[in-house]
């Protein structure tokens, strides 16, 4: 089984933006979501942890932030740079656990969205990230987390096969296998080559993160949790540094 980084480098990076439908639609969705979660126009600094190809970074820059975009996949950061044009976005190729080494100023907003948080190796790593975010946030700064709920209800039987995206030449299906602390994610990609379909597969573990646990850890890390909701099937938390 691959690590999350290997899985993205070798399997998902080439289809990451395609998975979202269209990049423009994904950017628009996140622009609306950020507004819904209380992120308004600003002249400050925003940090995007697990930026991918820019679905959060670009809306943040359009809202007026200078953005530091951190991701472990260089191919996706390259795509972000091409898509961002002249927007004020600086890309950092590194593990998000190391992000604070690249930050010299206080941030008004830190986001860790999509399912990025579950890519960390352990709950101890999650705790370490929370402390690091608290260390770089300005007073009254916001920390926004979104992640999938792999804890409250396990999918059973055929429900574990999830069609993700398809077109005339590519089909992506995901399969989930639950273990005690992680869910193993298998991505099956069919690509049409001539008149035949070629299958490539890869798998990697995602953390099962309990919503109540992370709210408790946020508070113990010095945050006030000011929003705790589910939007579009994702747990959405907004924490503020008092």
pLDDT digits (tens, 9 = 90+) for 2-36: 899 999 999 999 999 999 888 899 999 999 999 99
Alpha helices in the chain (DSSP H): 4-7, 16-19, 23-36, 57-62, 74-84, 123-136, 211-220
Q: Do 21 and 116 lie in a common domain?
A: yes
pLDDT digits (tens, 9 = 90+) for 131-177: 999 999 999 999 999 999 999 989 999 999 999 999 999 999 999 99
Name the β-bridge partners of 68: 47, 90
pLDDT digits (tens, 9 = 90+) for 105-120: 999 999 999 999 999 9
The structure's pTM equals: 0.95
Range of the domain at 184: 157-206
Query: How far is the C-alpha of 196 from the C-alpha of 199, rounded, in Å?
Result: 10
Q: Do 21 and 95 lie in a common domain?
A: yes
CB atoms within 10 A of CB 198: 10
pLDDT digits (tens, 9 = 90+) for 47-93: 999 999 999 999 999 999 999 999 999 999 999 999 999 999 999 99
CATH code of 97's domain: 3.40.50.150
Helices 123-136 and 211-220, interaxial angle, to 10°?
40
> pLDDT band at 43, cuts 50/70/90?
confident
Q: Number of structural domains, the chain?
A: 2
**What mean pLDDT, rounded, does the chain reach?**
95
| pLDDT tops 90 at residue 41 | no
Q: Do 42 and 132 lie in a common domain?
A: yes
């Amino acid at each position: 089984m691959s690590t999350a980084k290997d899985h993205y480098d070798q399997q998902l990076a080439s289809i990451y933006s395609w998975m979202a439908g269209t990049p423009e639609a994904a950017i628009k969705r996140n622009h609306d979501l950020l507004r819904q979660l209380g992120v308004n126009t600003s002249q400050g600094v925003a940090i995007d942890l697990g930026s991918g190809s820019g679905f959060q970074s670009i809306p943040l820059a359009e809202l007026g932030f200078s953005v530091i975009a951190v991701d472990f996949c260089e191919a996706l950061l390259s795509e972000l740079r091409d898509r961002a044009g002249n927007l004020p976005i600086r890309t950092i190729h590194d593990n998000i656990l190391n992000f604070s080494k690249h930050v010299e100023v206080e941030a008004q907003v830190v986001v860790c969205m999509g399912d990025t948080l579950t890519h960390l190796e352990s709950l101890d790593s999650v705790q370490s990230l929370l402390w690091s975010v608290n260390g770089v946030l300005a007073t009254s700064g916001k920390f926004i987390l979104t992640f999938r709920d792999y804890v409250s209800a396990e999918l059973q039987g055929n429900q574990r096969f999830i069609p993700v995206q398809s077109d005339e030449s590519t089909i992506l299906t995901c399969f989930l296998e639950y273990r005690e602390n992680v869910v193993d994610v298998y991505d099956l990609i069919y690509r049409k080559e001539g008149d035949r379909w070629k299958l490539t597969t890869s798998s990697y573990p995602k953390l099962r993160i309990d919503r109540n646990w992370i709210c408790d850890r946020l508070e113990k890390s010095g945050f006030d949790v000011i929003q705790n909701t589910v939007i579009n099937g994702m747990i959405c938390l907004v924490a503020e540094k008092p």
